[in-house]
Homo-oligomer: A and B are copies of this chain.
Amino acid sequence: MDLRDAEAERNMEPNHSECIYHMAVDIGGSLTKLVYFTKNNDHSDDESEAGVSCPVLKGRLNFKKFETSKIYDCLEFIKSMKLHLGGSQQQDGLERQITAIKATGGGAYKYADLFKERLGISLKKEDEMDCLVAGADFLLKVVRQEAFTYMDDQKQFVQIDQNDLHPYLLVNIGSGVGMYKVDGDGKFERVSGTSIGGGTFWGLGKLLTKCESFDDLLEQSSRGNNRAIDMLVGDIYGGMDYSKIGLSSTIIASSFGKVISDNKDLEDYKPEDIARSLLRMISNNIGQIAYLNALLFGLKRIFFAGFFIRSHPFTMDTLSAAVDFWSKGEAKAMFLKHEGFLGAMGAFMSSDKHGLQELLVKQQQNPNNMLCCD
């Protein structure tokens, strides 16, 4: 066996467990989410989104997203960061080919061959829902200021008592929406969902406006006025409320309903008004279906997550208002700082080789060990 063969063998069967599972990926219908761990002395992570510092493990968790339609960007990023070679995590400074990472989301099936071909990495598939719930539970228990409420432009952090976390309803808004009743560690059930989600917002938005990206569309919505598009209760009642049932004149009676009687073409409407109307329609609907399920299963807490939200104030306001309206103030909408990375986080957690499980136990013993966002 010559050196090359030895190297090839090492590539195939790495025996350095620390270089495996230091990243995980969640490949959804629209977005691909990457979670990876870097040691404190590794400064190559500047590009990642807000991470989480782990003083106990002397490193930090990094979060990064890509459009799934540009999956090659993700592969390039992994290459450029040498994550497929274990990053700079090896004590001996040698690069070792990673042969497998944990992966979840439908794309873990669809793009398995691509990862193998381009990076030499096998995707070890983890169930999407298991990952999502495990990720939510981990973040809610271990990261300081992970959960918050948002209403009338006011963000308020909620300190979660990890012994009183369950049960809750987890609403994950990706391209579509999944709703999960979480009863305890690993104990959960998918109870509902809707096809009207982030993919609908972006899909309809793309057809109706000239917006170039999801974020552009979201930005436009914050400047728009849905009254130009939606039929309000007041439009039907000649400016009056329908007070008998508590419907004020400004409540939307029919999303996009005003368009019917306007003698206008698509070009005559402002894209920001259309974006606003779309966002309200979709957020309202998700909030309503979530609330109905929370009521049905007697759940007081609803956590909204998924990349649709993107910490967008108006989206959070609308979801909160919908839950507040339908529950008559009884239920509370809550949000997660790492909203889009639950699945990827859960996939990362599904290996026990990263020390985080141990951290979780330590944290239970001493709450001061909570992780901090930066």
Residue ranges of A at the interface with B (Cβ–Cβ < 8 Å): 28-30, 68-69, 105-107, 109-110, 127-129, 174-176, 190, 192, 194-200, 202-204, 206-208, 229-231, 233, 235-238, 240, 242, 244-245, 252-261, 266, 269, 274, 281, 284-285, 288-289, 292-293, 295-296, 326
CB distance from A181 to the nearest CB of B (A): 13
Query: Are B197 and A237 closer than 8 Å at their CB atoms?
Result: no
A240 touches B195 (CB 8 A): no
State whether A257 and B292 are in contact (beta carbons under 8 Å apart), knowing that A29-B235, A237-B109 are contacts in the complex: no
Whether B203 contacts A29 by the Cβ 8 Å rule is: no
Query: Within the complex, which residue of B175, B190, B233, B256 is in contact with A260, where a contact is CB–CB below 8 Å?
Result: B175
Q: In the assembled complex, how far is the CB of residue A186 from the closest CB belonging to chain B, in whole angstroms?
A: 14
Q: Which of B29, B107, B233, B292 has a CB less than 8 Å from the CB of A231? A: B29
Q: A288-B194, A296-B292 are in contact. Are A254 and B207 (CB under 8 A)?
A: no
Inter-chain contact B238/A106, CB cutoff 8 Å: yes
Q: Which residues of B contact A296 (CB under 8 A)?
A: 292, 295-296
A177–B109 Cα distance when bound, in Å, is 39
| B203 pairs with A254, CB closer than 8 A | yes
CB–CB B252/A195 < 8 A: yes
Q: Is the CB of B257 within 8 A of A175?
A: yes
- A28 and B236: CB pair below 8 A? yes
Q: Which residues of chain B are near A109, meaning CB under 8 Å?
A: 237-238, 240
Task: Tell me, rounded to whole Å, the shortest Cβ–Cβ distance linking A230 to chain B.
Answer: 7
- Closest chain B CB from A201 CB (angstroms): 9
A259: which of B203, B257, B261 is its contact (CB, 8 Å)?
A: B203
CB distance from A371 to the nearest CB of B (A): 30
By the criterion CB–CB under 8 Å, are B261 and A194 in contact?
Answer: no
B106:A257 contact, CB within 8 angstroms = no
Asked whether, in the complex, the Cβ of A266 is within 8 Å of the Cβ of B207, the reply is yes
**Nearest Cβ on chain B to A86's Cβ, whole angstroms:** 28
